[in-house]
Structure 1
Amino acid sequence: MIEVKDLYKKFGKNEVLKGIDLTIDRGGIFSILGPNGSGKTTLIKCVLGMVLQDSGQIFINGESLKNHFKYRNEIDYLPQIANFPGNLKVKELVAMLKDLRNTKTTKDEELIALFNLEPFLNKKLVNLSGGTKQKVNLVLTFMFDSPLIILDEPTNGLDPISHLRLKNLIKAEKEKGKTILITSHILSFVEEVSDEIVFLLEGKIYFKGSINELKTKTAQPDFEHAIASILSSSYV
């Protein structure tokens, strides 16, 4: 579904992506991991068209993203920090997003009930807690039923019950044949939901495969120690 070929990007003198080659097949949950500054957010933003690469190509469903913007209508994106207009009410924001996407087929009511947001629909966004804003963020992301979902730190601020419901929601979307990309620092969450991981290190892909394959490669007994092994070796 996603193919990245020889992708380079630098900001000033800082070379963030150094010749990334990556193929993500249709269907499944893929977690993109790496330490701060490894290039994972830049890679995601290149796929979204929010950052333009210096060289290399990105294809979705065999079509180059160059000079092509309509592909974004097939992506649902959850940013790590959602900067909502504070003067809007929750229900107004949901209605605005539905108008912008120009679709009447949405799952907003189902998701609002799932995350217990009914008491907040008439409240202004500026008055919401961080956790409640994240729930609104999740409703806006999942309500459009697109084939590609990109989630940047989706568990931020969530209480344990909402965390569990999010995991179940992600797994349900996978069962529909969707492709889901996730970045997260919560290793237990990544381990539970991921089919494969992509580990970036200093702008290059260090590893792509299953968690069991990573444990074998690093000769470590569990996922946490496997990741620690990679990071320890990178600082030597």
Structure 2
Amino acid sequence: MEKIKVKNLSKRFGKVTVLKNVNLEIKKGEITAILGPNAAGKTTLLKCILGLVIPTEGEVYVDGKSIRESEEYKAKVGYMPQEPSFPQNLTPKDVISLVGKLKGKKTGEYYEYLVKLFKLSEHMEKPIGNLSGGTKQKVNALVALSFNPDILILDEPTVGLDPVASTKMKMEIMRMKSNGKTIVLTSHIMSEVEALADRVVLLIDGVIRINSTVEEIKRKTKSKNLEEAVAKILEEGM
């Protein structure tokens, strides 16, 4: 059974329709990448799945339950937005404590491991406003991963990370997949998507144009890599 099901989902902001009758099933233990040009509706779709944006029409189901009817799923989700917006006067330790209270969960050994992995130990009690952009992004990753979520939603997860931290983040994503987690991500880095994703969903103007495996997309477009394949689809309307 699918972990997440998006059914007949549309979203309008005023007169602008951002998502148009989107239907999507995301399976447990897989990494699904949602791709598309700017303003394709990717972030809006992620926020609808998270319950942060209410669809104009349609439903999102997690474990067979509509997210409109139950908020239990929120405790199971880790979210890493593209740009973190933490209160600047709080410390990373404060933020983790606050998120834990909201989820009804406590940190454990995995949290301690992540703090060391991303070399955040010396920054955990500093105001977030005093941290560098790269360190803030590591805190963003820490918040998303710390409570070992069943579902991980990642919007451009390696943007702003240095090469070492980016590699560590990708290793954690793959580790979580191997542990049966459900992962949805967006990225403009096609080599990253090709290395991580089991399935690619291509959104264009709020409509799903492609929903297939990386290998199938390359085969159909006769491309040597995903970057070339996506470029062909966008340019030629394949």
TM-score (structure 1 length as normaliser): 0.95
Distance 1:102 1:58 in 2: 23
SS in 1 for 2:147: coil
Deviation of the 1:122 alpha carbon? 2.4
Q: Give the corresponding residue for 1:81.
A: 83
Q: Size of the alignment, in residue pairs? A: 235
SS at match of 1:35: coil
Residues 74 and 103 in structure 2, CA contact (< 8 A), matched pair in contact too = no
Instruction: Measure the CA separation in 1 of the matches of 2:17 and 2:98.
Output: 38
Deviations 1:210-230 (A, max 9, x none): 111111222222211111111
Identity %: 43
CA distance in 2, matches of 1:88, 1:53: 32
For residue 138 of structure 1, report the CA deviation from its aligned partner: 0.7
Match of 2:140 in 1: 137
- Residue 75 of structure 1 and its aligned partner are, at CA, apart by 0.8
* Structure 2 residue matching 1:174: 3-state secondary structure: helix
Match of 1:10 in 2: 12
What is the rounded CA distance, in whole Å, between the counterparts of 2:63 and 2:127 in structure 1?
Answer: 39
Q: CA RMSD in A?
A: 1.5
Question: Aligned to 1:198, what secondary structure does the other structure show?
Answer: strand
Please report how far the alpha carbon of residue 37 of structure 1 lies from its aligned counterpart in structure 2 after TM superposition.
1.2
Which ranges of structure 2 fall in alignment gaps of 5 or more residues? Answer: none
- Please state how far the C-alpha of 1:40 moved relative to its aligned partner: 1.1
Q: Structure 1 regions of 5+ residues with no counterpart?
A: none
| AA aligned opposite 1:62 | G
Give distance in 2, aligned partners of 1:26 and 1:98: 24
Name the amino acid aligned to 1:57: E
Q: 1:178 aligns with which of 167, 176, 181?
A: 181
Once structures 1 and 2 are overlaid, which stretch shifts more, 140-149 or 83-92?
83-92
Q: TM-score, normalised by structure 2?
A: 0.94
Aligned residue type for 2:169? L
Asked if structure 1 preserves the Cα contact closer than 8 Å seen for 2:106 and 2:147, the reply is no
- Asked whether the 8 Å contact 1:9–1:15 carries over to 2, the reply is yes
**Partner of 1:66 in structure 2?**
68
